Amino acid sequence: MEKLRIGLIGCGVISDIYLKTCQKFEILEVVACASLDIAESRAKAAQYGIAKYYTPEEIFSDPEIDCVLNLTIPAVHAKVSIAALEAGKHVYSEKPFVTDLADGAKILALAKEKGLCVGNAPDTFLGGRWQTCQKLIEEGVIGAPTGAAAFVGTHGVERHHPNPDFYYQPGGGPLLDLGPYYLTAMIALMGPVKRVCGFSRKTFDTRMIESQPRHGEIMPVDVDTHVSGMLEFCSGAIGSITASFDIWDSETPRLEIYGEKGTLCIPDPDPVHGANNFDGEVWYRTRETSRWSYQPRVQGLENWQVAENTHGYNENSRGLGLVDLAYAVRGSRPVRASGEMAQHVCEIMTGILESPKSGEFWVLNSSCATPAALPEDFPNSEA
Ligand SMILES: NC(=O)c1ccc[n+]([C@@H]2O[C@H](COP(=O)([O-])OP(=O)(O)OC[C@H]3O[C@@H](n4cnc5c(N)ncnc54)[C@H](O)[C@@H]3O)[C@@H](O)[C@H]2O)c1
């Protein structure tokens, strides 16, 4: 199958895992990379054997590039994606898709007009853990989903990220940063959402960078850093999400899905294997194995059944959504980590953050198709 030639814009922290994933799949060839800092682009090109290092503008004008991989910071995602589409290139972007819903609508309309594909992170829902959840739901193990609860509580990124400023500026914050993993997984498993509401707050006006090399610098915080939202799915199921940069620790599972016949649980409060990753176990309980309310609470695995995971991609495989997009382009089929789903997620997040200002529910304008399950032998069956 003809390769999809990729031009990367944004050679920062997350680019390494993408470049490693790209090297594993024959359908992808990264032909050029760019960032604001030409020295950073040159170093990345040398490290991964990429033929050309560029300024961002040169990526758009290179006719050898079929698709732009947009790994810039949230505030410039839309600008880069629009420029890529205007230059006639497919685009796959990091999350959040956009920080302004009008930009998202423009990106989707432009892609449609030009016959180009738009894909977007997160692609973690294509990982083994999530595909196992999809299989269990499709097999009816928990019956029809009736509810879901997502939780991601951290104390921010300033202890590990070298340049954490953008996480505390518009376009950042815990919901826009971490919410897409949980909301995308919920939509992929339970379908689109009808309306949302929420509450949010900012706990600290400034935060100190604790990572190197900028240890001790004080950053302003211009976004809310503790957010809770409620969701009503089109199916009638009800969901909740809490995303926070103000929580030191928690024992709450990362995601649970409640069904008419049982419960699916994404356990482990360990942030390394949290639900914003590809790997980890799936637990479930049904009527036969559930606890009576007066039974003592038992921590851990007791009574939970661990689902057999028969799917691939149980390690960090960020970029798998781009691989899927490449096969979608070549095979003229829908993209799984689609721009439409990313826009729907962005509208849900916008609604959660806006509803407390108006005191009203946010009724969703956008919707999306539920992505098909990833074949167990992906990508072999695509060839
Ligand atoms: N760091 C992580 O652990 C992580 C994890 C998942 C997703 N992400 C997402 O990946 C994206 C990038 O994050 P990062 O941590 O790699 O950031 P980073 O700050 O390390 O790198 C950002 C890159 O974007 C480039 N850039 C910035 N503005 C630009 C512009 N106007 N035009 C062209 N290039 C520009 C910079 O030169 C740099 O190369 C963000 O959207 C983030 O949400 C990051």
Looking at the structure, do residues 110 and 129 belong to the same domain, yes or no? no
Alpha-carbon distance of 41 to 33, in angstroms, equals 6
d(CA 10, ligand 1 centre) in Å = 6
SS3 143: coil
CATH value at residue 78: 3.40.50.720
- Cα 35 to ligand 1 centre (Å): 9
Query: What is the end-to-end Cα distance of the chain in Å, rounded?
Result: 7
Would residue 101 count as lying in a domain? yes
DSSP codes, 23-47: HH-TTEEEEEEE-SSHHHHHHHHHH
Residue 303 CA, ligand 1 centroid: distance in Å: 42
Judge if 143 and 282 occupy the same domain.
yes
pLDDT at residue 173 in the model: 97
pLDDT at 91: 98
Between CA 280 and CA 261 the distance in angstroms is 23
> What is the whole-number distance in angstroms between the Cα of residue 166 and the centre of ligand 1?
9
- Find, among 134, 177, 175, 117, the residue nearest to 340 by Cα: 117
> Residue 17 falls within a domain, yes or no?
yes
Alpha carbons 73 and 70: distance in angstroms, whole number: 9
Evaluate whether residue 51 is within a structural domain.
Answer: yes
Question: pTM of the prediction?
Answer: 0.95
Ligand 1 midpoint to CA 36 (Å): 11
What is the residue-averaged pLDDT of the chain? 94
Task: Identify the band that residue 105 occupies on the pLDDT scale cut at 50, 70 and 90.
Answer: very high
Element (H, E) at 363: strand 362-363
* DSSP 8-state assignment for residue 199: E
- Using CA atoms, how far residue 194 sits from 77, 352, 366, in Å, is 26, 12, 9
Average pLDDT of span 21-35: 97
Tell whether 97 and 143 lie within a shared domain: no
Number of domains making up the chain: 2
Q: At which of 120, 143, 172 does a domain end?
A: 120
193-201 and 362-363 beta bridge pairing: antiparallel
Per-residue pLDDT at 246: 97
Please indicate, yes or no, whether residues 64 and 136 belong to a single structural domain of this protein.
no
Lowest mean pLDDT of 106-110, 249-253, 313-317, name the range.
249-253
User: Which pairing describes strands 90-93 and 28-34: parallel, antiparallel, or unpaired?
Assistant: unpaired
Regarding whether 275 and 144 lie in a shared domain, the answer is yes
Atom in ligand 1 nearest the alpha carbon of residue 161: 1
Residue 172 CA, chain-centre distance (Å), reads 14
Instruction: Decide which of 75, 96, 120 is a domain's last residue.
Output: 120
Residue 239: which CATH number?
3.30.360.10
pLDDT for the residue 116 = 98
Please answer whether residues 191 and 235 qualify as being in contact, where contact means their C-beta atoms are separated by less than 8 angstroms: yes
**pLDDT for 349 beyond 80:** yes
Residue 31 belongs to a domain: yes
pLDDT given for residue 298 in this prediction? 53
Structural domain contains residue 369: no
129 and 159 in a single domain? The answer is yes
Tell me how far the alpha carbon of residue 115 is from its chain's centroid.
Answer: 24
pLDDT above 70 (res 152): yes
Distance CA 232, CA 240 (A): 9
How do residues 259-295 score in pLDDT, each as one tens digit? Answer: 999 999 987 656 555 678 888 889 999 988 887 666 5
Helix, coil or strand: residue 211 = coil
Q: Would you say the CB of residue 105 lies under 6 angstroms from ligand 1?
A: no
The yes-or-no verdict on residue 253 having pLDDT over 90 is no
> What distance in Å separates the CA atoms of residue 96 and residue 94, rounded to the nearest whole number?
6
Are 252 and 191 in a shared domain? yes
Would the CB of 138 count as within 6 Å of ligand 1?
no
Whether ligand 1 lies within 6 angstroms of the CB of 84 is answered as no
pLDDT at 296 over 60: no
Q: Say if ligand 1 is within 6 A of residue 43 CB.
A: no
Range of the domain at 161: 125-306
- For residues 262 and 136, give the distance between their C-alpha atoms in angstroms, rounded to a whole number: 11
Asked if residue 139 and residue 18 are part of one domain, the reply reads: no
Please check the confidence at residue 302 and state whether its pLDDT lies above 70: no
Q: Ligand 1 in contact with 8 (CB < 6 A)?
A: no
Domain annotation covers residue 299:
yes
For 47-55, what is the mean pLDDT? Answer: 97
- Ligand 1 within 6 A of CB of 11: yes
138 and 169 within one domain = yes
Tell me the one-letter amino acid at 234. Answer: C
pLDDT class for 9, splitting at 50, 70, 90?
very high
Point out the domain boundary residue: 306, 328, 354. 306
250 CA from centroid of ligand 1 (Å): 28
Whether residues 267 and 199 share a domain: the answer is yes
**Which residue has the CA at smallest separation from atom 6 of ligand 1?**
14
Structural domain includes residue 363: no
- Is residue 227 assigned to a domain? yes
Same domain, 107 and 143: no
Q: Is 10 in the pocket of ligand 1 (CB under 6 A)?
A: yes
Question: 52-61, 157-166, 294-303: lowest mean pLDDT where?
Answer: 294-303
Note whether 107 and 136 are same-domain residues. Answer: no
The tens digit of pLDDT for each residue in 212-251 reads 999 999 999 999 999 999 999 999 999 999 999 999 988 8
Mean pLDDT of 54-68: 97
- Asked whether the predicted pLDDT for residue 299 surpasses 60, the reply is no
Q: Say whether pLDDT at 118 is over 90.
A: yes
Q: Average of pLDDT values for 18-40?
A: 97
Which single residue is written with the structure tokens 């009736």? 146
